Amino acid sequence: MAIVLGDNQYGKAETRLVRVVRDGERHELRDLTVSVALAGDLATAHTDGDNSRVLPTDTQKNTVYAFASEYGVSTVEDFGLRLARHFVNSQPSIHRARVSLVEHGWQRLGPHSFAHAGAETRTATVTCDRSGAWVVSGLADLVLLNSTGSEFVDFVTDRYTTLPEATDRILATAISARWRHASADSDWEASFHGAREHLVAGFVDTYSRSLQETLYAMGQRVLAHRPELVELRLSLPNKHHLLVDLAPFGLANSNEVFVATDRPYGLIEGTVARDDAPPAGLAWW
């Protein structure tokens, strides 16, 4: 028996970048958090303290800023591809680079004025090795709520079940969605906005017998409309809104007064995919 090093990677996480484009009166603003993770011939760094193949994480951070200056930031996907390919192509010891990007939205208030758009973020993770590149796009913290059009009945019961059936309830969730592209070359901007639009419509338009049903409807709808996408992974917390019992006060509560609870919460996770999707390769992590 021997003790050995297994999978490993390293990099700079959460580099905060704001890129302004100042061509003329009307400025553009991109606000990103960028994380880099590199893997390769790094065994002796672990076992012998040999840094001769270790590109410092500080250099990775510098590269993010320098590339933002040299090439600009068009989309998170393009910027991530450029960074990931750079590390794999320029460092012989690095075999795989994964760049995860979070874009924070801003709404325009004027030619050079902006308001932060809220918690929702656009995300991308780009993974490259010497054989190719994989792109996963997505969004996080998109919080949606239907105040009716949701039920939960006819479920399994056992000794520990006390939940009453609900024929009309609030359904609310904070969507985390990631979708895999068929190729590493796409119209990222159109694809993102199309996928987001169909996620939202899938939530809004589905009469929901469970959050599972809503999850599938959302994923199905995105894939049906976006041929460039082959697989979606959704993670949906059920943000419970509990009906308050007002009977002790002599009041009825016909689905009007709710407690929004923090914990615990249901968590519904699922994948929707094309049955002819190409292999995922290194896309997921």
- Reported as type and span, the H/E element at residue 182 is none
**Contact region with a second copy (CB under 8 A), list: 76-84, 113-121, 126-134, 182-190:** 113-121
220's tokens: 């199905």
- 251 touches a second copy (CB under 8 A): yes
CB within 8 Å of 279: residues ≥ 6 apart = none
By C-alpha distance, which of 224, 261, 219, 221 is closest to 236?
219
Residue (117 or 190) nearer to a second copy, CB: 117
Contact flag: residue 51 with a second copy (CB under 8 A): yes
* Contact pick of 99, 215, 226, 283 for a second copy (by CB under 8 A): 215
C-beta separation of 216 from 268 below 8 A: no
Q: How far is the CB of 214 from a second copy (least distance, A)?
A: 9
Q: Decide if 240 is catalytic.
A: yes
Residue 83 sits in the site that holds a second copy (CB under 8 A): no
Round to whole Å and give the CA distance between 135 and 125. Answer: 6
Residue 185 · residue 248 · CB < 8 Å: no
C-alpha–C-alpha distance, residues 111 and 28, integer Å: 9
The answer to whether 110 contacts a second copy (rule: CB under 8 A) is yes
Under the binding rule (CB under 8 A), the answer on residue 100 touching a second copy is: no
DSSP class of residue 249 equals: G
- Under rule CB under 8 A, how many of the chain's residues touch a second copy? 138
Check residue 61 for interaction with a second copy (CB under 8 A): yes
Residue ranges in 117-176 that form contacts with a second copy under rule CB under 8 A: 117-120, 142-149, 152-163, 170, 174
Contact (Cβ atoms closer than 8 angstroms) between residue 117 and residue 139: no
Of 59, 85, 96, 194, the one binding a second copy by CB under 8 A: 59
Query: Considering the rule CB under 8 A, would residue 200 count as an interface residue with a second copy?
Result: yes
Window 218-247: residues binding a second copy (CB under 8 A): 219-220, 223-224, 231, 237-238, 241, 244, 246
The answer, yes or no, to whether the previous bond of 264 is cis (omega within 30 of 0) is yes
In the bound complex, what is the minimum distance in angstroms from residue 131's beta carbon to a second copy?
22
261 is catalytic: no
For residues 182 and 230, the answer to whether their CB atoms sit within 8 Å is yes
Q: Which of the residues are catalytic?
A: 12, 57, 240
